[in-house]
Chain A
Amino acid sequence: MSPKTLYDKIWDAHVAHEAEDGTCLLYIDRHLVHEVTSPQAFEGLRMANRPVRAPDKTIAVPDHNVPTTPGREDPKNMTEDSAIQVAALDKNAKDFGIHYYPVSDVRQGIVHIVGPEQGWTLPGMTVVCGDSHTATHGAFGALAHGIGTSEVEHVLATQTLIQKKSKNMKVEITGKLRPGVTAKDITLSVIGETGTAGGTGYVIEYCGEAIRDLSMEGRMTVCNMAIEGGARAGLIAPDEKTFEYVKGRPHAPKGAQFEAAMEWWKTLYSDDDAHWDKVITIKGEDIAPVVTWGTSPEDVLPITANVPSADDFEGGKVGAAQRSLDYMGLTPGTPLSDIEIDTVFIGSCTNGRIEDLRAAAEILKGKKIKDGLRAMVVPGSGLVRLQAEEEGLADIFKEAGFEWRLAGCSMCLAMNPDQLAEGERCVSTSNRNFEGRQGYKGRTHLVSPGMAAAAAITGKLTDVREMM
């Protein structure tokens, strides 16, 4: 048998039909659904009088729109249009008989945090969702990617997607990370190196010692931003850490089924002599704590660097860099660590898991945020929130001056009331620094949770290593 990559193996195990031109019907094992990109898809099913083909493999949770303040179970406490979308999801979940975690359920949270937490996401699966950060689930060695609403409808109706295979890219992070450097710094640094279109047409497999050393939470952070590098999906081969994480989760297999699953899961790795269409290698020790200065996730620099000038770039990026500098209100040559901030947001499907909150709390313990700063923590799920409360992390955040919110996507994309005002500068553990992403004319600097906590204390972009 010819050697295969992990992606090849998962792909081959899910082809339900292949046409002569290579167009495949890829079978989907898990379909995650949220309120913003699904109403039109369910409406399409109703119009065509079609059922959901595999309701048992379809899991819905409202996350994008929901407020993160108490009383949100009452639709009157949502904006009218948000309430309509959430009500539509309530109704669609009920009418079509799919698994559902409503706002009132303690297990509610960001769809990409709930999926793994509940054991819906397992190694070797195909996982899709009408959300680009579906890439997160690749941390389990699952082929996971975002789809549009037409494809949501297609999966609901047929449990398949029409797909052509992507190319294979290997991103290897060798050796150990230096202190203060995290999964977020890895994933941002990779995008800084490849650019936001560098992964277009590829599925990335992340490997190497620094990736193996990451926890499952860290691996999810790395895969989460594969989409920001343009890749269809990011993958990490499952190992003992993966199996340990999965074991005992509510929807993970139990007993003999778990053992049978393990047997297959252990075959899910790239063969030694597998073919790679592109290989990127980065030394773990070369990665620094990083921050974004512009309005594209590729605008990444070490915190010790200075704001660049548009002249530092070439081609179409010159104009884009100048536009970014103007939008961000930055002067070339300014040390990044001199940039004063207004707001800190800790949360999102990138960094809203328990380990992220622990990392931030570690820096904040016994300290206060800078006077006048707005700071909030939005746990990724109700269960992350509970655990953080049990571990005493919530108290650390609250005593430091952070707001302690309920779970949801919140200020990552600002579809709920958590938004930046015009010109407000935010240090954020989320995934996109696009113009207007966190609010009209809001300014976003992407960082790791530890860096966000450090910035909250000083009121400036700050090198977390100075606080360790």
Chain B
Amino acid sequence: MDKFETLTGIAAPMPLVNIDTDMIIPKQFLKTIKRSGLGANLFDEMRFDRQGNEIADFVLNQDAYRNAEILVAGDNFGCGSSREHAPWAIKDFGIRCVISTSFADIFYNNCFKNGILPIALPQEAVDVLMKDAEKGANARMTVDLENQTVTTSDGESFSFEVDAFKKHCLLEGLDDIGLTMEKAGSIDTFEAQAAQARPWV
């Protein structure tokens, strides 16, 4: 997995609440057996018309935001389906960090498996960051995972919470399965005990 340490980049504002994973990557793009290439269809039905032409007022179609690396979004981002195609598409587009007041549980976890940092902050902080994002390409936001801060282009800084284990994995780019395999002994022991206690499972 790619490491995430610090990121300074353009932030795109998407103030809409309840942006669901069907919006992030519509179902017709789930018929792939690969993880790659989904960035072209990120937010497909908001971004393109049926003929494949760009919808001009969609934020990622505006020149200032074509190279956005951060997304500042409304509450409950990533709700709905468990599809990991959503973070795959976000990452493939080039976005490495999403900021909102809250995230849906499965999406939140999926981000960490893909080198994306989701940051949950109080409404007042997200409001400030949204305003900063609205300034366009000249305003660059900075995210520092080690120090757990987001800083606006004006230098206003907000601290965020992140689970220590998830932070560690993201900073080091660690592979979960490899880490768990190191605890195979514990799993073996548990499995043997469970087979005694609940043989019907």
Contact = CB atoms under 8 A, between A and B. Distances in A.
Given A39-B33, A132-B81, A16 B190 contact: yes
Interface stretch (B22-30, B52-60, B133-141, B144-152): B22-30
Nearest to A156: B177
Interface string A252-278: 110001101100100000000000000
A332 B3 CA distance: 49
Contact of A131 (B82, B177, B198): B82
A148 B80 contact: no
Contacts of A298: 18
Contacts of B176: 150, 154, 162
A442 B74 CA distance: 24
Given A162-B176, A316-B75, A434-B22, A17 B31 contact: no
B177 A21 contact: no
B53 to A, nearest CB: 15
A157 to B, nearest CB: 5
A104 to B, nearest CB: 21
A25 B79 contact: no
Contact of B201 (A85, A125, A132, A195): A125
A436 interface: yes
Interface stretch (A179-187, A196-204, A211-219, A450-458): A196-204
Contact of B200 (A21, A122, A323): A122
Nearest to A87: B33
B34 A230 contact: no
Q: Which bucket holds chain A's interface residue count?
A: 35 or more
A132 B177 contact: no
Contacts of A170: none
B5 interface: no
B200 A257 contact: yes
Contacts of B180: 25, 154, 157-158, 160, 162
A25 B33 contact: no
A434 B23 contact: yes
Interface stretch (B63-71, B91-99, B154-162, B181-189): B181-189
A27 B176 CA distance: 15
Nearest to B76: A197
A331 interface: no
A412 B186 CA distance: 40
A413 B27 contact: yes
Q: Which bucket holds chain B's interface residue count?
A: 35 or more
Nearest to B183: A17
Given A122-B201, A148-B82, A257-B200, A132 B106 contact: yes
A263 B31 CA distance: 44
Contacts of B200: 122, 252-253, 257-258, 260-261
Given A232-B105, A415-B28, A435 B22 contact: yes
Contacts of A84: 31, 33
A130 B82 contact: yes
Interface centre among A23, A79, A85, A148, by most B CB within 10 Å? A148
Interface in A52-110: 53, 57, 64-65, 79, 81-82, 84-85, 88
Contacts of A82: 31
A257 B199 contact: yes
Contact of A40 (B22, B33, B183): B33
Contact of A436 (B26, B33, B186): B26
Nearest to B106: A146
Contact of A415 (B16, B31, B103, B113): B31
B7 interface: no
A415 B33 CA distance: 15
B17 to A, nearest CB: 4
B105 A153 contact: no
A158 B182 CA distance: 10
Given A21-B164, A159-B191, A200-B102, A148 B16 contact: no
A328 to B, nearest CB: 15
A150 B179 CA distance: 14
A320 B22 contact: no
A146 B82 contact: yes
Contacts of A85: 31, 33
B16 A23 contact: no
Interface string A105-139: 00000000000000000101100001110000000
A323 B16 contact: yes
A317 B181 CA distance: 44
B44 to A, nearest CB: 9
Interface string A25-67: 1010100000011011001100010100100010000001100
A196 B80 CA distance: 9
Interface string B1-29: 00000000000000111101011001110
A40 B34 contact: yes
A468 interface: no
Interface in A396-450: 413-415, 432, 434-437, 440
Contacts of A23: 163, 165
A33 B173 CA distance: 27
A306 interface: no
B177 A154 contact: yes
5 contacts: A157-B177, A158-B177, A162-B180, A257-B200, A320-B18
Given A122-B200, A298-B18, A435-B22, 15 more contacts: A17-B183, A25-B186, A40-B33, A79-B31, A84-B33, A132-B80, A145-B106, A148-B113, A151-B110, A158-B184, A252-B200, A296-B20, A316-B75, A434-B80, A437-B27
Interface of B: 15-18, 20, 22-23, 26-28, 30-35, 45, 50, 74-76, 79-84, 87, 102-106, 109-110, 113-114, 163-165, 176-177, 179-181, 183-184, 186-187, 189-191, 194, 198-201
